[in-house]
Structure 1
Amino acid sequence: MPQQISRFAAPLVLVSMLVAAPATAKDKEPPARPAQIQELYACRDIADPTARLACFDREVGELSQADQAREIVFTDKETAKKTRRGLFGFSFPKLGGIFGGDDDEIKEIDTVIRSVSVDRSGKYTLVMEDDAVWTQIDTTALPRQPKPGQKIHIKTATMGSYFATIEGGRAIRLKRDR
């Protein structure tokens, strides 16, 4: 009986993988541009120079109004990277590339400890120079207590946690609180 089940299970797994492949490919598509940007780009296709200029003037004016009303937000790649770095450690759904693409995903950071506290169970809470607060979630004892000014390397671990090494020492598991 178990041999019959495995004979059917393998093709079923293969079919489910093939069905899932188009869904993952769809996730890789770039996000749709805002309507204001598409309308501005459409002006390039107008052959008559006077009509094209009028289109650009109109669409840039509407884009400016949308910007002033905060209906649309502009950013550059460097600002998006700083934002992603500041959000490192928080779990967010995919936001359609709003802070850059998946290729730009940050998997580790280097920062400096600003303050350290220890709770009753001996676990550390570390506040970083950028005001990020990280809390130890394992019971690993460090040979030396972390101190303000020390460099810390934090990298993605499993199940929503992160590994941190303070100045190359023993790794502890952390989670980001704020």
Structure 2
Amino acid sequence: MLQPASRFVAPILFLSLAVATPAAARDKDKDPPARPAQIQELYACRDIADPSARLACFDREVGELANADQAREIVFTDKETAKKTRRGLFGFSFPKLGGIFGGDEDEINEIDTVIRSVSMDRSGKYTLVMEDDAVWVQIDTTKLPRQPKPGQKIHIKTATMGSYFATIEGGRAIRLKRDR
């Protein structure tokens, strides 16, 4: 026989899952971010039937786009640059930026890099500076059998609650957080 409190848990759990599922689906199916006005106006030139008017439109809009670029009102990037930017920001928590760095399809969940310098605080926790100047700090109390050294390869992957697991040349995992 079920306890009185147990009879209410299952329906409440089912109801909460039913409410959460459509919300998760909506987030996944969001439209891509709107293009900047300068790009939309440039694309609109393609629809002009008269060749000389179309050319004049393209000339005008490309000029506007160049001015916006020089004034730093619009920024251009390619997929590879966006991927490098995401990699450089790995370990920091940011709100969803609507695909500003190329979308979530290439989300980075782990990186391989090389340690440039190592220091240890009074409690025996490591601070690791990587070759790309990223600084990672140990947040658990795991003791490593060998102290990390500059030049060693390190694999860092996403863990839970904003932390990351790191293994230095395949050794024991320690928990880190990105400091800067």
Asked if residue 20 in structure 1 is aligned to residue 53 in structure 2, the reply is no
CA distance in 1, matches of 2:179, 2:14: 44
Identify the residue that residue 151 of structure 2 maps to in structure 1: 149
Asked if residue 45 in structure 1 is aligned to residue 47 in structure 2, the reply is yes
For structure 1, the 5+ residue unaligned runs are: none
CA distance in 1, matches of 2:152, 2:75: 37
Task: Using the aligned pairs only, state the percent identity.
Answer: 82
User: Number of matched residues?
Assistant: 177
Q: Please give the residue correspondences for 1:1-178 in structure 2 after superposition, counting only pairs within 5 Å.
A: 1-2=4-5, 4-6=7-9, 8-9=11-12, 12-27=15-30, 29-178=31-180
Q: Secondary structure at the match of 1:102?
A: coil
CA distance in 2, matches of 1:136, 1:20: 36
CA distance in 2, matches of 1:11, 1:124: 45
Instruction: Give the AA of the match of 1:139.
Output: T
Instruction: Give the AA of the match of 1:23.
Output: R
Q: Secondary structure at the match of 1:117?
A: strand
CA distance in 1, matches of 2:17, 2:51: 56
Q: Secondary structure at the match of 1:116?
A: strand
For structure 2, the 5+ residue unaligned runs are: none
CA distance in 1, matches of 2:174, 2:87: 20
Q: Are the structure 2 counterparts of residues 94 and 143 from structure 1 closer, same or farther at C-alpha, using a change threshold of 3 Å? A: same
CA distance in 2, matches of 1:4, 1:166: 49
Q: Are the structure 2 counterparts of residues 118 and 100 from structure 1 closer, same or farther at C-alpha, using a change threshold of 3 Å? A: same
Q: TM-score, normalised by structure 1?
A: 0.93
Instruction: Give the AA of the match of 2:46.
Output: R
Q: Deviation per CA, 1:14-66, whole angstroms, max 9, x where unpaired?
A: 54135414532344x21110010000000001111111001100100000000
Q: Secondary structure at the match of 2:105?
A: helix
Measured on the aligned residues, the alpha-carbon RMSD in Å equals 1.5
